Chain A
Amino acid sequence: MAKKIKVATTSLAGCFGCHMSFLDIDERILQLAEVAEFDRSPLTDIKHCGDIVDIGLVEGGLCNAENVHTLREFRKHCRTLVAVGACAINGGLPAMRNHIALEECLAEAYLQGVGVDNPHIPNDPELPLLLDRVHPIHEVVKVDYFLPGCPPSADVFWKFLTDLVSGREPSLSYELVHYD
């Protein structure tokens, strides 16, 4: 039997909707499991890539320092890195805060907002610090492929992965390209 290709996934500033959509490939996951095995992923609960993986799927953009560390570590372990979904590709909905100063955002959430008691901006070192703006991942690491959608449909994942696994240049037909 041929060696299985290794797939990893991770989620940054996203909603896990892309991961959910991936799982919507339903029973096709069994076919996939015959040719691929999963390394790091919320689906396997493996926290760090054991070794170099063939394909890494990233959901979500970069909104804090931890996202940057995670992405960089992930990139290092992936031969092919794929930006999955609107947030990874253009920041997505989290980036809608970009035209509001971070200071204002935090003040609204933790200082002056409705229903705030004990107003203070959380400063526990365990909490990742927010970046001034949310960025798409291609602004911080090299990205090899983009799967647009919010989320990309299960068919997009399926088409893309089957293309890649069988050595074809991945391509998405008109029906598979959408941004919402």
Chain B
Amino acid sequence: MPLTELERGRVLEIVRRHGSEPTRLLQILREMQEEFRHVPGEAMEIAAAELGVPRPQVQGVAEFYSFLSLLPQGRFHLLISDSISDQMLGSRELAAYLAEKLGVEPGATRADGRVSLGFTSCTGLCDQGPAGLVNGLWLSRLDCQRIDLIADAIERELPLAEWPGEWFAVEDNIRQPGLLLTGPIEPGSALKLAVENGFDAVFTEIDRSGLRGRGGAGFQTSWKWKFCFEGPEELAICPVDKREKIERYVVCNADEGEPGTFKDRVLLNRYAHQVFEGMTLCAGIVGASQGFLYLRGEYLSLRPRLEAVLAERRSQNLLGVNILGQAGFDFDIEIHLGAGAYICGEESALIESLEGKRGVPRNRPPYPVTHGYLGRPTVVNNVETFTAAAAITLKGGEWFASHGTEKSKGSKILSICGDCARPGIYEYDFGVSIAQILDDCGAENTLGVQVGGPSGTFISEREFSRRLAFEDLASGGSFMIFDQSRDILQIVRNFTHFFAHESCGFCTPCRVGTSLLRNELDKICSGHGTAGDLVELGNLGRFIKSASHCGLGQTAANPVLNTLERYPEVYQARLKSIGFEPGFDLDGALETARRLTGRDDAMAHLEQEES
């Protein structure tokens, strides 16, 4: 249906409100989605013309992100989290109940256009699931009773603003504070100290603290900041004072997409000042004047609060020009929303997304730290890293470095979910044993723990003496507990489906391999695998790991490989003793022909296994 004159005007208005800047494309498309419940083809064309971007590029972005749709969604768009922790709390059954109640299939929009339903990757409410999103906003602790009420509100077309607040309520659940979570620093206190003592002194403290990136990879934070300041090699011939003129960027990676991770959600909710303060300190050190908070689309509910904190900081001259009276210390932060793409947690994909493009990881070298946003030196750090940096500035590097282990200084904030009595946020000094953590959160009869999310490591009960540290088990913060009642293969299937869904499709091994891996695993899990299939599964997993372009592909087979190594017998038990079985439903493949010919004789059927 063509857009009306009024609607075309609305489209133009959205584009122009973003200054007709191509880097704002994803933000523009998000707003169109909100306005029209989809991204109309005509709107893409208007945007392309107005932004001076080729149409295929606009379409490429619109089709890349899960939260954008080319077909109209309902006025109430419901997404149910499909994370394993939500599934364990019954999310699949609830979704089926909801679908029946509303008369709409998952993935579809009801004929009257009122409601649509779907599944989505982890929404970051793993400690208070089953969870979901309605028009992008969190719904926590869903149950049948709540679903009844929600369905009723939808049928009455009750505006979201009039839905009871408790439906949207999200708890911080900080169960065990440590080094950082004992309380936020006084807003501006670290910056004041920095302005007094100079940024060189701040850098020295950060360096002394031994702080490493908290996203999981663990790159030394001070080095990253130093490399950003020094800029690309081709500038090495410039005198340092000239180099300071180059635009640099500070980006906070709040695309907390690793299933089971929700500690950044809590930090952004309760420690937002401190996060922004950390970013501002970094800006002072590297010489950046523009910062971005890349907030995952699933965390839309946090935006108003974050905007308010930014406004407050501007009013207190903690952001803006001549910050705290220091001439030339200019820095501001913009919030940039994602739109449902796990890959954007990868720093170069995140930068592409910030530039308004598809979240496709870049080739390296060059590295983002020297050639990042718009090709300029860019620091990308995790929310927790900036939080720690602000505290270190105030309390000193020694304070931080005196905690943790030799190679992992300080503390780590964990998001714990799954089978335990007290899911939530726990902060530990690095070096803590898995057994200690399990004990603290009240986990019993534990079968295994997924440390670091699906891309991390699945450890069995024989390994609970292992320690949380870069030297042993690294984690971006996800800590999912499974007790003896859980089916390991069901967990692995969930993760493997997740990666196939989230693969960006850039490189062959991941694009094709993750789908092949998913299909092969499904075949085995559904009881149709043979010994040959198991060999194939392992080979395929190792291939994807070694041949893929970025961290997504390189870790996508971890769930399969980890569990094949630890629980071969679980896989063996699902295998057929026969030599070979087809990977597709043979008799089902005759169904159409049977229907069209009206036949049902013996020759109109096929056995799945050779008799």
Q: Which residues of A contact B (CB under 8 A)?
A: 65-66, 68-69, 72, 75-76, 101-103, 106, 121-123, 125, 128-133, 135, 139-142
Q: Which of A65, A66, A103, A133 has the most CB of B within 10 A?
A: A65
Check B598 for interface membership: any CB of A closer than 8 A.
yes
Q: Sort A-B residue pairs by CB-CB distance and give the 7 closest, nearest first.
A: A123-B597, A129-B593, A131-B589, A142-B580, A132-B589, A102-B592, A140-B582
Please state if A121 and B584 are interface contacts (CB–CB under 8 Å).
no
Q: Which residues of chain A come closer than 8 Å to B610, judged between CB atoms?
A: 72, 75-76
Task: Name the contact of B599 in the complex, choosing from A68, A129, A131, A133 (C-beta under 8 A).
Answer: A129
In the complex, chain B residues whose CB is within 8 Å of the CB of A103: 592, 596
In the bound assembly, the distance between CA atoms of A171 and B155 in angstroms comes to 68
Instruction: Tell me whether B596 and A140 are in contact (CB under 8 A).
Output: no
Instruction: Find out whether the CB atom of B601 lies under 8 angstroms from the CB atom of A125.
Output: yes
In the bound complex, do residue B532 and residue A139 qualify as a contact, i.e. CB atoms below 8 Å apart? no
Question: What DSSP secondary structure best describes chain A's contact surface?
Answer: mixed
Q: Does B603 contact A (CB under 8 A)?
A: yes
CB-defined interface of B307-344 with A at 8 Å, one 1/0 digit per residue? 00000000000000000000000000000000000000
Check B592 against A135 for contact (C-beta < 8 Å).
no
A125 contacts across to B, CB distance below 8 A: 599, 601, 603-604
Q: Which of A65, A68, A106, A132 contacts B604 (CB 8 A)?
A: A65
Give B550-607 interface residues, CB cut-off 8 Å to A. Answer: 579-580, 582-584, 586, 588-594, 596-599, 601, 603-606
| A129 and B580 in contact, given A102-B593, A106-B596, A142-B532 (Cβ under 8 angstroms) | no
Q: Which of B579, B583, B589 has the most CB of A within 10 A?
A: B589
B135 to chain A, nearest CB (A): 36
Given contacts A129-B590, A129-B594, A139 and B579 within 8 Å (CB-CB) = no
Nearest chain A residue, comparing its CB with the CB of B585: A132
**A66, A75, A102: most-surrounded residue (chain B CB, <10 A):** A102
Interface residues of B in 100-121 (CB under 8 A from A): none
Given contacts A123-B597, A135-B584, A141-B580, 14 further A-B contacts (CB under 8 A): A65-B606, A66-B603, A102-B593, A106-B593, A123-B598, A123-B599, A125-B601, A125-B603, A132-B590, A132-B592, A132-B593, A139-B583, A139-B584, A142-B580
Contacts of A76 in B (CB 8 A): 610
Nearest to B588 among chain A residues (CB) is A132
Given A129-B597, A129-B603: A68 and B586 within 8 A (CB)? yes
12 contacts across the A-B interface (CB closer than 8 A): A65-B604, A68-B606, A72-B610, A75-B610, A76-B610, A123-B597, A125-B599, A125-B604, A129-B594, A132-B588, A132-B589, A135-B584
Cα A133 to Cα B583 with chains together (Å)? 13
Residues of B within 8 A of A142 (CB): 532, 579-580
Whether A121 touches B589, Cβ cut-off 8 Å, given contacts A129-B604, A141-B580, A142-B532, is no
| A130: chain B residues within 8 A (beta carbon) | 590, 593
Which residue of the partner chain, among A75, A106, A128, A140, contacts B586 with CB atoms under 8 Å? A140
Q: Which residues of B sit under 8 angstroms from A131, Cβ to Cβ?
A: 586, 589-590, 593
Contacts of B601 in A (CB 8 A): 125
CB distance from A130 to the nearest CB of B (A): 5
Q: Is B589 a contact partner of A133 (Cβ separation < 8 A)?
A: yes
* Complex CA–CA separation, A75 to B593 (angstroms): 25
> What CA separation (Å) do A128 and B606 show in the bound complex?
11
With the chains together, A76 CA to B589 CA distance in Å?
Answer: 23
User: What is the CA–CA distance of A123 and B598 in the complex, to the nearest angstrom?
Assistant: 7
Contacts of A75 in B (CB 8 A): 610
Chain A residues, Cβ within 8 Å of B606: 65, 68-69
CA of A106 to CA of B610, assembled, Å: 28
Partner of A65, one of B579, B590, B596, B598: B590
Closest chain B residue to A106 by CB distance? Answer: B596
**A2 to B593, alpha carbons, bound, how many Å?**
49
A140-B597 Cα distance, complex, nearest whole Å = 24
List, in ascending order, chain A residues with CB within 8 A of B599's CB: 123, 125, 129
Residue on B nearest A120 in the bound complex, by CB: B597
CA of A25 to CA of B591 in the docked complex: distance in angstroms? 42
- CA–CA, A75 to B610, complex, Å? 10
Known contacts A130-B593, A132-B589, A133-B589; is-contact A139 B582 (Cβ 8 Å): yes
Shortest Cβ distance from residue B600 to the other chain A in the assembled complex, whole angstroms: 10
Q: How far is the CA of A158 from the CA of B592 in the complex (A)?
A: 41
Contact B579–A121 (Cβ < 8 Å): no
